[in-house]
Amino acid sequence: MNIQERLTAFAMLGAGWVMWLLVLLSVIILAIILERAWYLWKTRTNGQILQEALRKKLDERDFEGAEKLLAVSPSFEASIARAGLVGAADGNAEAAEERLRGAKVIAKGRMERNLAFIGTIGNNAPFVGLLGTVIGIIRSFQALNESQGQVSEGLMAEVGEALVATAIGLLVALPAVAAYNYFQRVIKGRLAWSDALGHDILATLKQSKGND
């Protein structure tokens, strides 16, 4: 059996398994979207309010109070900024900057957990659907050959299955891509706020060191 015959035999298994695979992927994606939405929601904060409160503590050189303020916040912005306050009394801005950078990398990884899977499926689900379409077309030609060129019920069923496979692939891809882009935008915004808080801390440390 040559390669063409093997591929034809594989196609004759039908596109049903492709559609069930897409359905399974859609369920997994939905679960990830809900989990990430809840995770990011429960760790949210008002960046502007937090920044104003932190600046007030920093202006007073109350590093201990600033650390306590950040400790009660569930947000990643606060946890990143808090890392920069470790050992703030020594006024070492360079060390604080490195701690901020490390905390940011860890926070980014936690917020982006499983998002790569969503992005991958969103980009490739249409191709999986297209595979089902190709299989359906091959089976359509087979049905057309068996009916000796006559349009039969079996032929129409195979054509319909081929089109449904493409549609399901698109239905899986569109929400996955939309969710991936939305979460990335949210994470980017939160990291921007963490940078703003970190710069406030570094500015205060450098000023304190300069006054010594």
Specify the 3-state DSSP secondary structure of 192.
helix
- Nearby residues of 200 by Cβ (< 8 Å), 6 or more positions away: 51, 54, 55, 58
pLDDT in the model for residue 7: 44
pLDDT in the model for residue 175: 92
Separation between Cα atoms, residue 110 and residue 42, nearest integer Å:
13
Binned average pLDDT, 10 residues per bin, the chain of 212 residues = 49 64 91 95 91 91 88 92 79 85 94 94 88 75 61 60 79 93 96 94 79 56
Can you say how many angstroms the Cα of residue 123 is from the centroid of all Cα atoms in its chain? Answer: 12
pLDDT in the model for residue 10: 44
pLDDT in the model for residue 113: 93
pLDDT in the model for residue 148: 58
pLDDT in the model for residue 132: 78
CB 167, CB 129: distance < 8 Å: yes
Separation between Cα atoms, residue 194 and residue 62, nearest integer Å:
19
Q: Could you tell me the two tokens for 161?
A: 């299955």
CB 26, CB 171: distance < 8 Å: yes
Q: What is this structure's pTM? A: 0.82
- Nearby residues of 88 by Cβ (< 8 Å), 6 or more positions away: 63, 66, 67, 96, 201, 205
Taking phi over 0 as left and psi of -120 to 50 as alpha, with beta for the rest, 62 belongs to beta
pLDDT in the model for residue 122: 92
Specify the 3-state DSSP secondary structure of 114.
coil
CB 22, CB 31: distance < 8 Å: no
